[in-house]
């Protein structure tokens, strides 16, 4: 009992000393209850003002800028780097037979009336992957042999498009272009897309070319080692397009697409539409076919298939190049002009900064 009273007295002395110390230092006295003191409800404080727009809080990394580019409906630019141009071309002899064993020294390249600063690569190509657009005129003017041309086109795609290597799409057009089969390497799907076409309506030929190049080829992934081509079946007549022939050709040049044309004219003589087809093919480095007999349609497709597998490719650095969006001419000629003919696109549009 004595020890308990002694301990109680000691505790009372300690508490008294603590209260005296608090009073001396000026701190408010805490409740002497053994229960924890109730916590006062917190009042919401106003948020601090945001930092100025041109500054960031200390030790804080600003959020990354939005990397997504807006959908630009403007005309796309050429798909080459600012200091390199790639051209695919075909060489034939005077009789039109393809020549496939020439060397770089057998040619001269002229870009915008000047020789290039450097030829970076030159080689014969027989096995490049293909991106092919099949454009079939489905207007009333091609009714007579429409089904035969459908079957010939399907056979061409079967023979040309290799599984997991090449890709093709099908567009039918009358008053407007319509994709009946998007890019695929599946022969059955491509055949179905061709069979979906039905003749009827007016003809918007230039719109179809423009659409196929801008909305299909230019938006497709492309490496340097891809060959782009459009196979166009039409009579060359146009009565509904919103773009001109030259605008359609320009878009094909921007897409770096070679256009092969197969006339559906059965009159036996070349008409105004056939001259249009020649102009389109010539400007893009392609070739115009005029199979006046129906059996010749198959031969035209076979010629195109062989040509796509027997071309040359040159890559060069232009002299005095300016990224100003202007059109620059291309001329590739064989040193032996007497015996060899070169077919290549006539020019390209430089990118604009």
Q: What is the DSSP string of 64-77?
A: PPP-PPP---SPPP
Please give the helix or strand (H or E) that residue 130 lies within, else none.
strand 130-137
Using DSSP's 3-state secondary structure scheme, residue 45 falls into: coil
120's CB contacts (< 8 A; 6+ apart) are 84, 315, 316, 317
330-344: burial string, b at 16+ Cβ within 10 Å, e else: bebebeeeeebebbb
pLDDT score, position 353: 75
pLDDT of residue 311: 92
- What 3-state DSSP class applies to 138? coil
**Which strands sit side by side in the sheet containing 177-184, from one edge to the other?**
177-184, 167-173, 130-137, 227-234, 257-263, 288-289
- What are the C-alpha distances in Å from 78 to residues 169, 279, 321? 21, 21, 14
Report how far residue 213's alpha carbon sits from residue 211's, in angstroms, rounded to the nearest whole number: 5
Residue of 167, 180, 169, 168 lying closest to 138 (CA atoms): 180
188, 149, 308, 269: CA torsion to nearest 10: -170
DSSP state of 140: G
Q: Which of 136, 118, 133, 130 is nearest to 88 (CA)?
A: 130
CA atoms of 296 and 299, how far apart (whole Å): 5
Sequence-distant (6+) residues with CB within 8 A of 67 are: none
What are 272-329's pLDDT values in tens digits?
A: 999 999 999 999 999 999 998 888 999 999 999 999 988 999 999 999 999 999 999 9
Q: Cα–Cα distance between 318 and 259 in angstroms, integer?
A: 24
Helix (H) or strand (E) run with residue 317 in it? strand 311-317
Position 12 scores a pLDDT of 53
Q: pLDDT tens digits, residue range 234-288?
A: 999 999 999 999 999 999 999 999 999 999 988 889 999 999 999 999 999 999 9
* Token pair for 19: 């209260």
pLDDT at 82: 56
Burial class (CB in 10 A: 0-12, 13-18, 19+), 163: exposed
pLDDT of residue 199: 84
- Predicted TM-score of the model (pTM): 0.76
List of the chain residues with pLDDT < 50: 1-10, 13-14, 16-80
């Amino acid at each position: 009992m004595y020890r308990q009273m002694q301990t109680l007295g000691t505790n009372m002395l300690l508490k008294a000393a603590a209260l005296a110390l608090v009073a001396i230092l000026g701190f408010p006295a805490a409740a002497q209850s053994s229960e924890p003191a109730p916590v006062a409800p917190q009042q919401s404080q106003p948020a601090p003002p945001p930092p100025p727009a041109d500054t960031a809080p200390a030790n804080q990394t600003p959020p990354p800028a939005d990397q997504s580019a807006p959908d630009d409906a403007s005309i796309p630019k050429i798909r080459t780097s600012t200091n390199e141009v790639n051209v695919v071309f075909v060489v034939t002899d005077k009789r039109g037979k393809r020549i496939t064993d020439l060397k770089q020294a057998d040619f001269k390249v002229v870009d915008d009336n000047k020789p290039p600063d450097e030829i970076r690569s030159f080689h014969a190509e027989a096995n490049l992957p293909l991106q092919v657009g099949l454009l079939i005129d489905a207007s009333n003017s091609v009714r007579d042999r429409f089904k035969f041309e459908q079957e010939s086109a399907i056979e061409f795609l079967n023979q040309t498009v290799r599984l997991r290597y090449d890709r093709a799409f099908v567009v039918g057009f009358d008053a407007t272009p319509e994709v009946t089969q998007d890019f695929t390497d599946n022969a059955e799907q491509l055949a179905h897309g061709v069979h979906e076409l039905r003749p009827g309506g007016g003809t918007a030929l230039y719109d179809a070319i423009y659409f196929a190049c801008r909305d299909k080829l230019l938006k497709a992934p492309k490496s340097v080692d891809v060959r782009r081509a459009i196979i166009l079946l039409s009579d060359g007549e146009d009565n509904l397009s919103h773009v001109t022939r030259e605008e359609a050709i320009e878009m094909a040049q921007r897409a770096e697409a070679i256009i092969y044309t197969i006339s559906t004219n059965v009159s036996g003589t070349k008409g105004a539409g056939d001259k249009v087809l020649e102009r389109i093919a010539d400007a893009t480095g392609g070739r115009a076919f005029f199979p006046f007999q129906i059996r010749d349609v198959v031969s035209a497709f076979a010629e195109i298939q062989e040509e796509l597998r027997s071309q040359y490719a040159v890559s060069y650095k232009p002299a005095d190049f300016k990224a100003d969006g202007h059109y620059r001419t291309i001329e590739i000629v064989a040193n032996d002009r007497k015996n060899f003919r070169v077919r290549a696109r006539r020019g390209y549009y430089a990118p604009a900064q």
